[in-house]
Structure formats: C-alpha cells, structure tokens
Structure 1
Amino acid sequence: MLDGRAALASGLLLLALTACKSPDTLSEHTPPAPEASSGYTAKPGWATQRFAVAAANPLATEAGYQVLKAGGSALDAAIAVQMVLTLVEPQSSGIGGGAFLLHWDGQRLAAFDGRETAPAEADEKLFLDADGKPLEFMQAVVGGRSVGVPGAVKMLEAAHRQYGKRPWAELFQPAIRLAEEGFPVSPRLHTLLAADPALRQNPQAAAFYYQADGSPLPVGHRLRNPALAQLLRTIAERGSAAFYQGKVAEALVEQVRQHPTNPGRISLNDLAGYEPRQRDAICTLWQQHYRVCGFPPPSSGHITSMQILGLLEQSGPLEPLANGLPGTDFLHRYSEASRLAYADRAQYLADPDYVPAPGGNWRSLLAPAYLKQRAALIGPNSMGTAKPGVPGQMPITFAPQPEQPEYGTSHISIVDAQGNALAMTTTIEQAFGSRLLNDGGTGLPGGYLLNNELTDFAFEPRDAQGKPVANRVEPGKRPRSSMNPTLVFDADSGKLLASIGSPGGAAIIHFTAKTLLGLYGWGLDAQKAIDLPNFGSLNGPTLLEAGRFPAATVEALKARGHQVSETEMTSGLQAIQRTPQGWFGGADPRREGVVMGD
C-alpha cells in the first residue's frame, strides 16, 4: 500500500500526462454537460485495511488522509477535504456553496441538509424578464441574481458538533497552508478555465485565474490564494459566525447586490438567519439484499435513482454485460425506466417545507405496487417522452417543471477506523458558479467563488393555465437538487457495505445508479463499476457516453424508436466498498480523484 505522499505524487503524475480535449458540440435536444471533459486517465482502484478517503483532487484526498491517520473521524476528514477543494477545485464546490451529508456512526444514520436557500426578497418571477419570459440560462447565472445563501460551512459546523473528534480549527490547516504556499494548477482546472466563457467578466477572477493576455494560468503554475487563507483562518478561529456575519458577510452582500448588470437579493439578515436542517434519510430495500440509503427532498437523487432501479426490478431480470458493456436490451429498459422516473421528478420533487409529498409520504414514489404499475408501461419500443404517474390518492396541484440545464458539484466518500462513514456531495452549481470571486473583505488577491444555486429552481414558475411548478422560487426555499450521496447496507446484518456519489447535474442520478448496478448487479469492484460507460435519459433523448458503445448498439436502440445522443457524460464518481480484507476504493477516470488510506 502506497503511503499518502507517494500516492499523491503518483496521482499528480497521472494527471500531468492526461491529454485534454474540448467538449463536443451538443445537439439542441441534448442537455449540456455539467462540466467540460478534460480527458480520461485510467485509475487502478485502491485497497486499504482500516480506513479510506476518496475525493476529487489528490491534494484534497491527502488532507483527509492525514486527518484520518492522526485519529480524526470521517467527519473531521470531510471538513479538511472540503476546505482544500475550495482552493484546488474551485469550479465545483466550496465554502460559497452548499452540500448534502449522509453520516453513519455505526448505529445511527444522520442526514445533514446544507442546501442553499433563496433570499427573503426573492419571488417566483426572479428569472423572468420584463415581458414575463424566462431569461436565457447564462443571463440568469452570471452575476448576483443566481446566488443563494450558502449552507456548507454552517452545516459542517453542526455536523462537527455531533461527530467531530479533532478541534475545528485544526481541520482548516491543510487548506490554509496550501493557500499560502500555493498549489500547482491541475490539467482539469486549466481546461475548465480555458473553456469558460464568462469567468473573465469578473475583474477579480480575471486577475486571479488568467494571464495578462486573457489565457488561463498554465498547468503546473503555483497558485497562491492569500484572501482564502485569511478567510479560512478567521473561520477556523471564530467558527461559522465569521462567515455569516461581519466583514465576510458584508463583502458577499455587497458583491451580490451591487453587481453592475445582474444584481441579486441576498441580505445580511439572510446570511445571519441561515440554518442547516437535519432530515430523515430515505432507505430503500433493493434486490432483497441491500438497504440503499440516500437523501430525501429537496434532493431528487435517491428517489429518482431508486425509482429507476425499482422499475428495472419490476420489469424483468437484469441482463448480463455483453463483452464488458451494457447491451441493447438493458439500455432500452433502463432508458424507459429513466423516462418514467424523471417525469415524476419534474412533477413532484421540491423542498418539503413548501411542497407536500404525493400521498403524504415521499416513499409513495417507491412503493412496489406503484412501481409495478409504472413498469407495465415499458414496452418493446421507446415511449419517447413519459408522463408522470399518480402515486398517492390526492389531486395533482402542480405543473411539471419544464426541462432546463443543471450542473455542478464534487463528491467525497470516507470511512474511518472507528466505523464511521459518510457520503457528502457538495456544490456551487455550474462550473465556477455565478462567476463571482469574493475576497471575503480582505482586500487580498483570490478568495472563493459564489454559487449560482438559485438557477436550480424552475425559471418558469407556472404553466400556461397558471398552475404553479413545485420547484418554483419562493422566499427561504431550497432549490431541488440531484445530489445523491449514498450509503449501502446489508439488509440482514445491517453492516455498511459502500459509500458512493458523484457530481454531474441531473445525470448524478444515473451515475450513482450505474455504480450500484455495477457493484451489486454485475458483481464488479468499485473501480470497474465506475469505469463502465455512462448512459441514461432525462425524459428526452437516450444519452450514451461518446465513444464508449459499439455502433451496432446505437443502431439497435434507434431501431426501437430511441433518439440517441452520444455525448460527454463527465461523471466524477467516488466509491468505497467493503471487502473481506477491509475496503476497496475507486475514483472516476474522467476527473482527477484518487483514494488514499491505510
């Protein structure tokens, strides 16, 4: 087993050799990739005995590894990882965004909701123009209008009070040190900086991430972030209050509200009043052997992924892989199940503090009798576009949400030597969020990026008849998410079997479902399950990862009526599975992650 630093050096060498490529041009009917592709680097998978940490960047993984090695808990390690990701993977997550955390302490499952909220001054017309028409997506994203009240810092502090072992301030030291000393710009960060059309519009970001000629900082450039170092030191010393009140909060509010072209509505009261929620996880029996646990609304991740897997169960036995790949029959059934599940998602799923569950219980969408009824709609040919079902005995009072882009995100999976484990998915939404780099009032170069999480709400709040969309903007509301942090348990013994999750916008649901199928349907290890090509449907075209499926498979799907779109599906999966010897971790070859442990 490589020690942490040797593994880190190995990971960085692999990344330096990665060939970067631009994202494919997508058809008008294909949802845009959540983040651009930056190449494919084969990962070996990592076996450990006592503990393991999987994160999206080797430097972040190393920070978590050192915390675990020093006797810290899984939760301690997650805080260290998140702070480093704020620095080294700023496009995907950070202290300017939110997160969902699923935590297991060996006896009890806890679900911490650190999702962003809409400002008190927001209303359902937030993303409509003067004529009442929805804004273009990038019109809404860039600037202050899209920024939600960040939740990650306060949520992590609340979780640390329950499950932390090491002092709060100690967990910020790896990120502070890296911010002061600098870190090498990775191939992925360089590629996304080059591809982004809007980040240069922010003067602070243009000066920090780009050279004088407008080109992105080169791979390997040592980037220091003195503003973030000072900000993290303040939060380490004073807790989350240092972020949500005082100079740091004032700097955020000023940047959002005073944006020259697209001001937002966050106030100091919004920040001071933010509270994370502790919710009840949803656990679903699957294949009679596995208890799959995930996040309830406002996340749509668990319900939608388990609807898909439940519909597959109800419609027939799982087809084996053909030459190591999912075949036509499986892809047809999976895509049809996806259409049915995403139709329900668009109809029903939103913040439970604002929207009632169908039938009075979110589990109505996963009830075997309901899934059996829906699975009967899967025929030999594609249905094209599915309609939502009626899972509960109550009138449907909401309109389905029209399709719109979804982005974002990073995932962390950790198991510690004491039997604690977590899955945390964390985000600022689109790559580089609202494109606002905030120095926290320090006046120093650098800082952290603000989220554009409010664009996860429906832009069109009502349908043509005036019926409201469940996921419309309302004051204080949390936007619907696809984040799907997942813990898997043996249904009989209750023993933890795996921690899984991914970034990827609305396709997060497919990426986690694919990994579950790989592990427990096709008997693959975590790395091979992650390596499988991506696939799915958002109730539109059948999506296949570009260059990963034979032409014969594509043509066979088309013959069944599928509109097939071969496109980049840039997942960022992390998975840790139990083995007889301990643990085995996998990280997505499509991104920079590695696994470390002892």
Structure 2
Amino acid sequence: MKTWLAFVTAALVALPCNAQQAADTHAPEGPGAGRVATSAAVDAAQAAKAAGRPARADDWMVSAANPHAVAAGARVLRNGGTAADAMVAVQAVLGLVEPQSSGLGGGAFLVWHDGETGEMTTLDGRETAPLAATPRLFQDDAGEPLDFFEAVVGGRSVGVPGTPALMKAAHDRWGRTDWAGLFDDAIGLAEDGFTVSPRLSGMVAMDALRLSRFAPTRDYFLPDGSLLEVGDTLRNPAYADTLERLAAEGPQAIYAGPIARDIVETVRGAPGNPGLLTEADLALYKVRERAPVCAAYRAYEICGMGPPSSGGLTVGQIMGMLEPFDLAKLGPDSPRAWRLIGDASRLAFADRARYMADSDYVPVPVEGLLDPAYLRKRARRLESGARLESVAPGEPEFDHALNWADNASMARPSTSHVSIVDGDGNVLSMTTTIENAFGSRLMVRGFLLNNELTDFSFRSHRDGRPVANRVEPGKRPRSSMAPTIVLRDGKPVLAVGSPGGSRIIGYVVKALVAHLDWEMDVQQATATPNLVNRFGPFDVEAGPAANALAAALADKGYEVRRRAMVSGLHAIALGDALTGGADPRREGVALGQ
C-alpha cells in the first residue's frame, strides 16, 4: 500500500514539470475554443502549478481538486455562466472522478459573495440524522461507544444527503445557465470513461478490504477482484443515468421515487450494520440559509460558515487571538510565530469542543465567541512566550439560554474544496464531503453514501450532562469544514478552503496567515508546509521543508509528530487580476481566463 506522502509524490510526478510550457493559463476565446482550448489551458495550469506559480486571469477563475472538474467549470464560465452554474458542473464531475471525497450522497457548505449587491450568503447543505435516531445510535448494549469503523461501514452512519439539494438551491438563487446542461460533462465522462488517477488508485488500494464488503461497491472499485490501476479507464453508466434523472427532474429525483427507495433499501439492508434512514427522512430534507460568521482581522473581515460547522467560528477565533502579534515581522520560518498559531488553535479548539454544535438544537454563543474583548482576553495567555501547559474553554458571553456540555467527537479526513470567481464578480467558496474516505462504503445508482452521522459524538452524556454534539432526530452533525471568503473594505480579496477533517481549520489558518501576513501568493500559501496543533501535540508535515521548525518546536517542549498532512487547499485571490492556487499535495488545478 502506498502512503499518503507517496500519493502526493505520484500526483506531482504526473504533472508537467517544464515551466516553459506554462506561459499563462488564459484560454482562447470565440467559436471553436471548446474542449480543445480547455484541455490546453488545463495543461498550462498543471505546468504552472508544478513550477510553483499561481494561475492568472482577468475575468473568471475556478480552483478545484481534479482537472476534469476544473475543465467542466471552466467551460460553463467561458460561456457566460455564473459561479453557481460552474459549481454544479464541478460537483457533478467530482462525484465521478474523486468519489472518495464528495458526491451526490454527501453534503456541503457554501459561502457566496454577490458581485452586484455585495451581500454575503451561506447555505447549509449538511446531512441530517434520521428521525428514528437516538443519542445512543453509536453505543453498544452497555452504553459504551462503538469503535469508529464499526460504526462507519454500513448503513448506521448514513445521514440524509444534502448536496443535490444544495446544488439546486444555489442554482435557483444565482444561476443563469440552463440546469439540465450543467451535467453534460459529467454524464459524458461517466458514459465514455475517465482515466483513473494516482490518488483514486491508491485510495482504493488502501481501503480495498472495506470496499469489498458490499457487492455494488466491490464490483465498481475492484472489478473482477482486481485493484484499479493508474491509467485504467473507468466507466460508470449507473451514475450517468442518475445524473440524467437529476438534470431532468431536479433534486426530487434523489429525494423521492426509485432512487430514494434504493437509497433507503441499501441503508436499511446493509449486512451487519443496518441504518435507520426512511423515505420520509429524504422527503423532508431542506437546505438552510444561515447567517455568515465574520471575524475582524487587521484590515480584513474573514467570513465563513456558522454552526453546524465549527469551521468559521474556530478560524475566526484563532485569527482574532493572533491579531495582537506581529506575525508579518516574525515570518514563516519563526518558531515563535508557529507557537502563537499553535497555542491560539488549542485555545480555540477548547471552545469548539465545549460550545459548538447544530444551533437548531444547542444554543451556541456565536457573538460571544467572536467578541474582540473576549478574544483579547484569551490572547493574553499567549504573551508569555512559552508553550501553554494546558488549555481550557473560556467563558464567552451568551446572548441566549445556557451552554451545554463538551464533546469528544472529531471529524475524520476526506472531503474536497471548490473556489470560483465568475465574470460578474460573484465569489463562491464551497467545501463538500461524504466524511470518511468512501463514506459508508455503500453505493447506490453509481454514487457513494456518506457516513456523516459519525461526526456526531458517540457519547450522549459527559459528567451527567448532555453532550452538545450528541445524535438527535433531524439534527446536523458538527463539522470542521471552513469555506472562507475574506473581505477588505467590503470587497472580496480571497476565497479559500480545504479538506482534512478537523485539521481543515489549521490548514485554512495557515493559508490565511501566509497570504495576508507573510504576503505569499496563493500558490505559495497552499504549498507552504502544514503545521497544526489542535489538542497539544504539534502535527508537522513530513519532509525537509519543516525540519528546522519541527526541531525548534520540540525544543520548546511540544510533542512533535511528523506525518503526511494532505491538505487540499484551493484558493483564488482577487485584486487587479485574479490569481489562483491549487494544493500540490492533490491533483487539482486553478484555471482562469
């Protein structure tokens, strides 16, 4: 089996390395441009990424985790579509070529800045627990939490998917292109086949035992009992049929009728680990508009998704605690800078565990957690210059009700991120997921079903008090996804986000500090080493680039853990021109015109 680091290496090796091939990423315009022009532009974008340079454009840009998906979004934007139109095309393709990360069986959070009105909107397409779920869903007969994968693999972990409804909700609000035509690229790739990438091949190899538990999943990912090899052609006619139904009928095709019945039968009939999902649960699903969560940071406003995501709040808290310190002067090679970032993160994660969950079920002190006075008080703990020996939740002011108990659940990595800017100046930042790699491992009609319910706490009570993120009927599990749009003087200057479980928060903070304080371009900001501290130990990305920092942090008393940290940051900076970055640890690109 290949390691994560081997995947990154393989992905980079597969990219064109001659910088001379990448004069720019502008695609030709006019009749006949079409697919040939897009293919050439993708090649140039890959070469620019391999050379460590950002993509550049004047009109529009898309940055996402797979070249096929980026090409689909680019064709929509080139033909005058909006960022919402392009997102639909991108997501439809991602569900095919990167099925381990996101798709129709999952959920997403979307942050939108309107180019005309300046309005910021966030849409919650998070999955929901079945109405029959109880707080003991992930406990054994003795009331003890199940092992993680004992809970994940099968129907018990499957929540009501939100992605199809979110795609349509965004298109209804901000789309311009005919809905049905946005699926053409994905349908064509599913019918004709696409080339298996190094990342998909390696992920299948690592998870082959779990994928083999269910016949439809095994038959697709392990045809004739064999592993998918890099360069194989993979076809998915069942997914093409599902997309054709979605194109013709809208999300009703997923939430009612034959596909809904197949989802329910698959979940409730999963051998060894059946779930609770019903057709009524699917029919009742709604996308929710939430209030954006915005935090001041120097001359900027950093805006993201509020509860049930912890991403926007925790990112905002970390940045707010860092504001009193001159990170620009310290620079990216300073152990002191990373001590500040790491311990600010630990303080924010303590608040995250204590206070954050689905605000429809639990009173979350959003304003109190981001209050500048509260964050300044928390930041005083960082002034000593020494590693914090311990952290505890603070006491933010509640504007309603009382706080609930903490919880110990932690999101596991998979997921994908998309950043898009269109020709009208609309900005979209969306993080999309099926939770663990390959989700529940259950496959229906060509797409995988999520295991999102395991983002709930497995414990229902702690110290006699109910856990904030415990399972409840219809509730949305807490997430770490942090799709982010940064404003300056009310205008967007950056769209960014990443996959990576609860490390998403640290990856996004790294990119923000690198770009806003250390003045790295967006490609450099995505590529610079990952260092994340959530709970005490400092996770430092394996490889020589972070060797000196790892040693210095160890000297400061931190437990340092060297590991591959496969973020998937995709970012677009807005200024006199657009510049795009795509994380070199994954296979995506940024492309614009």
Same topology, TM > 0.5: yes
Q: Which residue of 2 aligns with 1:117?
A: 128
1:400, distance to aligned residue in structure 2 (A): 1.6
1:99, distance to aligned residue in structure 2 (A): 0.5
Q: Secondary structure at the match of 1:412?
A: strand
1:382, distance to aligned residue in structure 2 (A): 2.2
Unaligned runs of 5+ residues in structure 1 are 15-39, 440-446
Q: Which residue of 2 aligns with 1:208?
A: 220
Q: Secondary structure at the match of 2:461?
A: coil
Asked if 1:7 corresponds to 2:12, the answer is no
Most deviating of 415-424 and 5-14: 5-14
Question: Which AA in structure 2 matches 1:370?
Answer: Y
Q: Which residue of 2 aligns with 1:407?
A: 413
Q: Secondary structure at the match of 1:375?
A: helix
Q: Secondary structure at the match of 1:377?
A: helix
Q: 1:489 to 1:404 in 2, by over 3 A?
A: closer
> How many angstroms apart in 2 are the aligned matches of 1:63 and 1:236?
15
Unaligned runs of 5+ residues in structure 2 are 1-23, 28-37
* Structure 1 contact 511–573 (Cα < 8 Å) conserved: yes
Most deviating of 379-388 and 181-190: 379-388
* Structure 1 contact 101–422 (Cα < 8 Å) conserved: yes
Asked if 1:296 corresponds to 2:302, the answer is no
Q: Deviations over 1:353-395 (max 9, x none)?
A: 001123xxx0211111111111122233322441101001588
Q: Deviations over 1:537-587 (max 9, x none)?
A: 11231111112455443233223221111111110000000132x200000
Q: 1:381 to 1:192 in 2, by over 3 A?
A: same
> How many angstroms apart in 2 are the aligned matches of 1:407 and 1:413?
19
Question: Which AA in structure 2 matches 1:270?
Answer: D
Q: Secondary structure at the match of 1:575?
A: strand
1:9, distance to aligned residue in structure 2 (A): 4.0
Asked if 1:137 corresponds to 2:144, the answer is no
Q: Secondary structure at the match of 2:159?
A: coil
* Structure 2 contact 295–320 (Cα < 8 Å) conserved: no
* Structure 2 contact 301–487 (Cα < 8 Å) conserved: yes
> How many angstroms apart in 2 are the aligned matches of 1:118 and 1:293?
27
1:153, distance to aligned residue in structure 2 (A): 0.6
Which of these residues, 523, 537, 541, is aligned with residue 541 of structure 1?
537
Q: Secondary structure at the match of 2:110?
A: strand
1:13, distance to aligned residue in structure 2 (A): 8.6
Q: Secondary structure at the match of 2:466?
A: coil
> How many angstroms apart in 2 are the aligned matches of 1:290 and 1:49?
23
* Structure 2 contact 387–558 (Cα < 8 Å) conserved: yes
* Structure 2 contact 411–480 (Cα < 8 Å) conserved: no
> How many angstroms apart in 2 are the aligned matches of 1:592 and 1:110?
29
Q: Which residue of 1 aligns with 2:70?
A: 61
Question: Which AA in structure 2 matches 1:456?
Answer: D
* Structure 1 contact 145–264 (Cα < 8 Å) conserved: yes
* Structure 2 contact 336–385 (Cα < 8 Å) conserved: no
Q: Which residue of 1 aligns with 2:451?
A: 452
Most deviating of 377-386 and 247-256: 377-386
1:285, distance to aligned residue in structure 2 (A): 1.6
Q: Secondary structure at the match of 1:351?
A: coil
Q: Which residue of 1 aligns with 2:34?
A: none
1:44, distance to aligned residue in structure 2 (A): 3.0
Q: Which residue of 2 aligns with 1:473?
A: 471
Q: Which residue of 2 aligns with 1:348?
A: 355
Question: Which AA in structure 1 matches 2:268?
Answer: R
> How many angstroms apart in 2 are the aligned matches of 1:404 and 1:91?
19
> How many angstroms apart in 2 are the aligned matches of 1:513 and 1:12?
25
Identity of matched residues, %: 48
* Structure 1 contact 397–467 (Cα < 8 Å) conserved: no
1:103, distance to aligned residue in structure 2 (A): 1.1
Q: Deviations over 1:73-129 (max 9, x none)?
A: 110000000000010000000010001111122221111110000000001000001
Q: Deviations over 1:38-74 (max 9, x none)?
A: xx96653210110001110000000000000111111
1:211, distance to aligned residue in structure 2 (A): 3.8
> How many angstroms apart in 2 are the aligned matches of 1:58 and 1:232?
20
Q: Secondary structure at the match of 1:399?
A: coil
> How many angstroms apart in 2 are the aligned matches of 1:403 and 1:456?
7
Question: Which AA in structure 2 matches 1:423?
Answer: S
* Structure 1 contact 43–587 (Cα < 8 Å) conserved: no
Q: 1:127 to 1:384 in 2, by over 3 A?
A: farther
> How many angstroms apart in 1 are the aligned matches of 2:152 and 2:44?
37
Q: Which residue of 1 aligns with 2:280?
A: 269
1:119-198 matches, cutoff 5 A: 119-196=130-207, 197-198=209-210
Q: Secondary structure at the match of 2:88?
A: helix
* Structure 2 contact 330–336 (Cα < 8 Å) conserved: no
Q: 1:71 to 1:550 in 2, by over 3 A?
A: closer
Q: Which residue of 2 aligns with 1:434?
A: 440
Q: Secondary structure at the match of 1:565?
A: strand
> How many angstroms apart in 1 are the aligned matches of 2:46 and 2:590?
13
1:398, distance to aligned residue in structure 2 (A): 2.3
Q: Secondary structure at the match of 2:132?
A: coil
Question: Which AA in structure 1 matches 2:378?
Answer: R
> How many angstroms apart in 2 are the aligned matches of 1:391 and 1:199?
44
Q: Deviations over 1:424-472 (max 9, x none)?
A: 1100001100011112xxxxxxx00000000100011111x32111111
1:201, distance to aligned residue in structure 2 (A): 1.5
Which of these residues, 43, 50, 55, is aligned with residue 46 of structure 1?
55
* Structure 1 contact 335–537 (Cα < 8 Å) conserved: yes
1:459-498 matches, cutoff 5 A: 459-463=458-462, 465-490=463-488, 492=489, 494-498=490-494
> How many angstroms apart in 2 are the aligned matches of 1:208 and 1:344?
42
Q: Which residue of 2 aligns with 1:597?
A: 592
* Structure 2 contact 540–546 (Cα < 8 Å) conserved: no
> How many angstroms apart in 1 are the aligned matches of 2:347 and 2:506?
13
Which of these residues, 319, 324, 337, is aligned with residue 330 of structure 1?
337
Q: 1:417 to 1:44 in 2, by over 3 A?
A: same
Q: Which residue of 2 aligns with 1:444?
A: none
1:378-417 matches, cutoff 5 A: 378=382, 379-392=384-397, 397-417=403-423
Which of these residues, 313, 332, 347, is aligned with residue 323 of structure 2?
313
Q: Which residue of 1 aligns with 2:370?
A: 366
* Structure 1 contact 457–471 (Cα < 8 Å) conserved: yes
1:423, distance to aligned residue in structure 2 (A): 0.4
Most deviating of 166-175 and 214-223: 214-223
Most deviating of 297-306 and 541-550: 541-550
1:7, distance to aligned residue in structure 2 (A): 2.9
Q: 1:110 to 1:415 in 2, by over 3 A?
A: same
Question: Which AA in structure 2 matches 1:426?
Answer: T
Q: Deviations over 1:290-342 (max 9, x none)?
A: 1111111111111101111111123x2215466xx432111111111111000
Most deviating of 73-82 and 274-283: 274-283
> How many angstroms apart in 2 are the aligned matches of 1:384 and 1:178?
53
Question: Which AA in structure 2 matches 1:412?
Answer: V
> How many angstroms apart in 2 are the aligned matches of 1:120 and 1:456?
17
Q: Secondary structure at the match of 1:376?
A: helix
Q: Secondary structure at the match of 1:198?
A: helix
Q: Which residue of 1 aligns with 2:13?
A: none
1:397, distance to aligned residue in structure 2 (A): 4.3
Q: Secondary structure at the match of 2:428?
A: strand
TM-score by length of 2: 0.90
> How many angstroms apart in 2 are the aligned matches of 1:413 and 1:258?
37
> How many angstroms apart in 2 are the aligned matches of 1:111 and 1:304?
16
Q: Secondary structure at the match of 1:299?
A: coil
Q: Deviations over 1:503-538 (max 9, x none)?
A: 111011111111111111011110011111011211
Q: Deviations over 1:149-192 (max 9, x none)?
A: 00011122112111110111011111011100100000110011
> How many angstroms apart in 2 are the aligned matches of 1:503 and 1:264?
26
Q: Deviations over 1:184-227 (max 9, x none)?
A: 00011001111114112121111111143x44211111111000
Asked if 1:227 corresponds to 2:212, the answer is no
* Structure 1 contact 384–562 (Cα < 8 Å) conserved: no
Q: Which residue of 2 aligns with 1:442?
A: none
> How many angstroms apart in 2 are the aligned matches of 1:201 and 1:384?
45
